Structures are given as structure tokens and as C-alpha cells.
Amino acid sequence: MPTPTPSWQTLDRALTSDGSELTLCWFEDHFSERFALRVDGQELMHSNSHGSEEKLAFHGCAGLAARPKARVLVGGLGMGFTARAALDRVAADAEVVVVEAVSQVIVWNRDPGLLGQLAGMPLGDPRLSVVEGDVGDVIERSAVATTEAERFDAILLDVDNGPTALSTFTNRRLYTVAGLASARQALRSDGVLAVWSTFADARFTARLGEAGFAARTMRVLAGDGTQRRHILWLARPAGAAQGAGREVSSRKRYRTPAAI
């Protein structure tokens, strides 16, 4: 009798803020166990492809290990890989704030039998706090903060597949000139905004400039064993001093570490 072919199973469901269905899916065969998050059937992320999300934090948080009381904002919890990579790049007195719009995603990440195991339970790290809500609201509150202590050294956005490939319609404001200007104001004087995408977008790069950023893009391997590449934008307030180890000349061709 033939052995049944393994297939994806839906473990749980949740609704996004605009009514789309988010599903947590699982697959296991003789070789591996895999998880996927899908929105209305379209894959948003996969547990076997997270290298570029980790590089978002690697580059966005560069230099912060030596900065006292660094603050990092992570937009989107996902499977916890970006949060874990950010924690690995900051010191013991740092604060990492993760904003996640879907409460069930937080539940899945707290469960070591589901997503929590994938990135080593980052939600258990005392430096990390989770806010259930809209990252745009958190950015806007920090943008009008009266002290530097309430702003961020790095804002890492990994909530969509790109500036025009949105997981929820409400995220659109993050990529407008006004939304980007709020992000710039929410940063400390030499902070960095890092944005993840599956594709390049010249119009978004232009909007970063309109919002007062000096931005560059990086093409990094997706990390799924193929040659697929994803895009990172690293943007700093125009005119900000270049921190040691956080920027290199825009004339250079950027390369990521040899491991990618």
C-alpha cells in the first residue's frame, strides 16, 4: 500500500484588521518540519526562508551593541526571526519593542510547540516587550515625543511583502511621504529606518528622499537555499552624522556577509 504524500495542514486561523484571513500552516515529512503564515491563501512567510529578515536586523541594528540603552522598534512579529536577530545585535540594557497587529500571532510565538521554537523564544527575553496594535500608531506617538529617550535608534519594518504588497490595507500609510516623515521624527538624531521587501521599488526610494532620508538599498539572499534575493532599504535622516560601522560610501557596491 503506497505511503500517503505529506501535505500542508492548517493549525489555526485569525482575522487581520481589514478582515483578511491569516492562517498558520504546518508541514512535516521525513526530512523537516515547516511552518507558513498565509493571508487569504497567499504565503506571507515561511520558516525555511528567513535569512533576509535576519539581515534586516543585522544591518538596521549595526553598531547598537556599543550604544547604552539603545531602543529598537520592530514592526511585525511574524515568526520571531527579526526580533531574535535584533536582540542579538544589542546590549544587555537595550530595549526592543515589537508591534504586532494580530493577537493570535503573539499567541503562536509564545507557544514553544508552534512558532516560539523557531527563533529560540525571543518573547522570553527580558529586553523585549510586545505591543498588540498598529506599528504606524506607535511610530506617530514617538514622532511627537518630547525627549530622545522616547524615540528609537532603529525602526525595522517587516510587516508586508513590499511597499505595494500589503498584508493589510492600513499599512499603506507606512510607505507614504507623510508616514515616512513620521518615522524620521520617531528616530533619534542618528537613527536608521530599515525596510524589508521581496522586490525593488524606485518610487518608494524616491519617497524616502522626499521624507528627508538619505537612503540606500541592498539586495540580500532570501536564505531559502536558492539564489532568490530580497531588498532592504537602509535610510537615515539626511545630514545625520555617519556612525562608525553603520554606513559605508554610497559609491561602493554593497555586499552582505559571505554567509549569504
Residue 14 lies in a domain: no
Residue in the block written with cell 530580497: 230
Give the strands of the sheet with 21-28, arranged side by side.
9-15, 21-28, 33-39, 42-46
Decide: helix, strand or coil at residue 36: strand
pTM assigned to the model: 0.87
Residue 248 lies in a domain: no
Residue 147 lies in a domain: yes
Residue 258 lies in a domain: no
Predicted local confidence at residue 248, as pLDDT:
37
Alpha helix positions (H), 111-260 = 135-143, 177-186, 202-210
Residue 120 lies in a domain: yes
Task: Convert 91-105 to b/e letters by CB count within 10 Å (16 or more is b).
Answer: eeebbbbbbbbbeeb
Residue 36 lies in a domain: no
Predicted local confidence at residue 241, as pLDDT:
43
Q: Give the three cell numbers for residue 197.
A: 521587501
- φ/ψ of residue 171, rounded to 5: -70, -10
Count of domains observed in the chain:
1
pLDDT tens track of the chain, all 260 residues?
A: 455 556 889 999 999 888 889 999 998 876 678 899 998 888 878 887 788 999 999 999 999 999 999 999 999 999 999 999 999 999 999 999 999 999 999 999 999 999 999 999 999 999 999 999 999 999 999 999 999 999 999 999 999 888 988 878 889 999 999 999 999 999 998 999 999 999 999 999 999 999 999 999 999 987 777 788 899 999 999 987 444 344 433 333 333 333 33
Predicted local confidence at residue 5, as pLDDT:
59
Residue 37 lies in a domain: no
CATH of the domain at 210: 3.40.50.150
Residue 181: which domain range?
49-237
Predicted local confidence at residue 155, as pLDDT:
98
Q: Give the three cell numbers for residue 6.
A: 505529506
Residue 30 lies in a domain: no
